[in-house]
Amino acid sequence: MSPDAPTLKNFIAGQWVAPVDGKHFENANPADTRDVIGHFPLSGQADVDAAVASAKRGFEIWRRTPAPARGDVLRRAGDILVARKDELADVMTREMGKPLAETRGDVQEGIDTAYYAATEGRRLFGHTVPSELRNKWAMSFRRPIGVAGIITPFNFPLAIPTWKLFPALVCGNACVFKPAEDVPMTGHMFVEILLEAGLPPEVINLVHGKGEAGAAIVAHPDVALVSFTGSTDTGSKVGEACGRSHKRLSLEMGGKNAMIVLDDADLDLALEGALWGAFGTTGQRCTATSRLIVQEGVHDTFVSMLEARARTLVLGDGRAKGTDVGPLINPRALDKVERYITIGTGEGATLRMGGKRPGGKSLEHGHFFQPTIFTGVKALSRLEQEEIFGPVLSVVKVKDADEAFRVNNDVRYGLSSSVYTRDVNISFRALSELDNGITYINAPTIGAEAHLPFGGVKQTGNGHREGGWEVYEFYSETKVGYIDFSGKLQRAQIDNY
């Protein structure tokens, strides 16, 4: 324990409380691990049980609160996020590492999601349709479901919790929220903001911790739905547990996203996109550009341009001026990236640049890794197939657009893809043929906007989407009502035919 760092609490049943068995974990700055941010509850079953019991009580209040009034709370949360944007960004960069411009964007995504969700409280549309019988009405409407278990990753410490909590709340559910153990301070502040905005306390319950707490939420019989963003392996376990108890589940998992650069592309534009897509957030986005598929006519030129620019990227503390690329999140992430350098070289790919932890005194206390480019990467090699979640870009050379599309599709993931071309026909072919939830034309694989559905096909997800209008379907249940005002028994399908 670092004596100067604060000890934070869970928020359960309207109180800030210590974990039942008194255990904590340390949260440190990934750019300099001597900077300890705080000690957070290492929660277990008893804490989760208390949180779920509280959420059940909260649900009874919240489900009866009119949806527009629920939306008002979210609008106020959005206003507070606006007022505290810079302060939050600073906390987020300190505990997560990405540069301030990126954490400010992360907060903005939360603001956008808040205002969208706030107005959804005045929509939550159902349908009114004609009945096949006289003097009878038929309609559908949306009902809240119950207690939502919300488990979020480290890479978007605010945006992703808002993607889940805001729609869950506007639909009338109560929540048990477990933020990633690498970014608990952002989770703590977010809950403070929801309370300040007027959310009834038992509607939101915050449980810090690691896998044990997450597993307890997922398995709890009184948790009706679960939304999880994280690795495909953990997602499989969450899926198994939810399948056994027939819980509603939204999974958002891995990616191996490709940017395709064709011979007719604007190479200067593609260059900016590749740098941002591959090395933004130190490659720690589900949407990161981890494969660059380049047509042979421009391959050598483009790789040289890319290498020259990538070598100028400044690695450093995300809170320092001039930093382009921050640290990785923790030592496990660093080990994983290093493992893939060995795998890549072992498979015969050429390490064009990077591949190491940087030298030098200023970075020695952080989890830094050099921006890395491999060329001559073979389709179907492990380097080309597996999610690394770090600043490693694998370049694959192809003959034409057909081969590029094939290589793009030949992975188990399907989150985002991108094509740089000036050919309108190829652009539209890409939209229909690339097996991804999102395809960008002349923009990198990252940059999703809060008001459109976000998610992927194949093993990236399980068919649900975050964001936009679709997510409200996930967090509510359709109910149908028939009102017969004929005063007599009317048998559908029988009396009218």
The residues of the shown chain that bind ligand UN1, judged by CB under 6 A, are 109, 155-156, 285-287, 446-448
Nearer to ligand UN1, 70 or 256 (CB): 256
Nearer to ligand UN1, 112 or 384 (CB): 112
Per the annotation, the verdict on 242 as an active-site residue is no
CB of 449 to ligand UN1, least distance (A): 7
Nearer to ligand UN1, 404 or 446 (CB): 446
Torsion angle of alpha carbons 385, 389, 393, 398, nearest 10°?
30
Nearer to ligand UN1, 126 or 447 (CB): 447
Nearer to ligand UN1, 287 or 436 (CB): 287
CB of 454 to ligand UN1, least distance (A): 7
CB of 26 to ligand UN1, least distance (A): 25
* Whole-number Å distance between alpha carbons of 125 and 143: 11
* Whole-number Å distance between alpha carbons of 478 and 480: 7
Task: Write a three-state SS string for the chain.
Answer: CCCCCCECCEEECCEEECCCCCCEEEEEECCEEEEEEEEEECCCHHHHHHHHHHHHHHHHHHCCCCHHHHHHHHHHHHHHHHHCHHHHHHHHHHHHCCCHHHHHHHHHHHHHHHHHHHHHCCCCCCEEEECCCCCEEEEEEEECCCEEEEECCCCCCCHHHHHHHHHHHHCCCEEEEECCCCCHHHHHHHHHHHHHCCCCHHHEEECCCCHHHHHHHHHCCCCCEEEEECCHHHHHHHHHHHHHCCCEEEEECCCCEEEEECCCCCHHHHHHHHHHHHHHHHHCCCCCEEEEEEEHHHHHHHHHHHHHHHCCCCECCCCCCCCCECCCCCHHHHHHHHHHHHHHHHCCCEEEECCCCCCCHHHCCCCCCCCEEEECCCCCCHHHHCCCCCCEEEEEEECCHHHHHHHHHCCCCCCEEEEECCCHHHHHHHHHHCCCCEEEECCCCCCCCCCCCECCCHHHECCCCECCCCHHHHCCEEEEEEEECCCCCCCCCCCCC
Catalytic one of 102, 175, 286, 384: 286
Nearer to ligand UN1, 183 or 401 (CB): 183
Nearer to ligand UN1, 229 or 370 (CB): 229
CB of 138 to ligand UN1, least distance (A): 39
CB of 438 to ligand UN1, least distance (A): 8
Burial of 87 (0-12, 13-18, 19+ CB in 10 A): exposed
CB of 434 to ligand UN1, least distance (A): 16
Per the annotation, the verdict on 132 as an active-site residue is no
Q: What token pair was written down for 384?
A: 């080309």
CB of 61 to ligand UN1, least distance (A): 32
Nearer to ligand UN1, 112 or 317 (CB): 112
CB of 105 to ligand UN1, least distance (A): 8
In sign, the C-alpha dihedral spanning 485, 490, 491, 493 is negative
Nearer to ligand UN1, 181 or 202 (CB): 181
CB of 331 to ligand UN1, least distance (A): 21
Residue 97 CA to chain centroid, in angstroms? 16
Helix 100-120 to helix 85-96 angle, to the nearest 10 degrees? 120
Catalytic one of 120, 252, 387, 466: 252
Residue type, 208: H
The residues carrying an active-site annotation are 252, 286
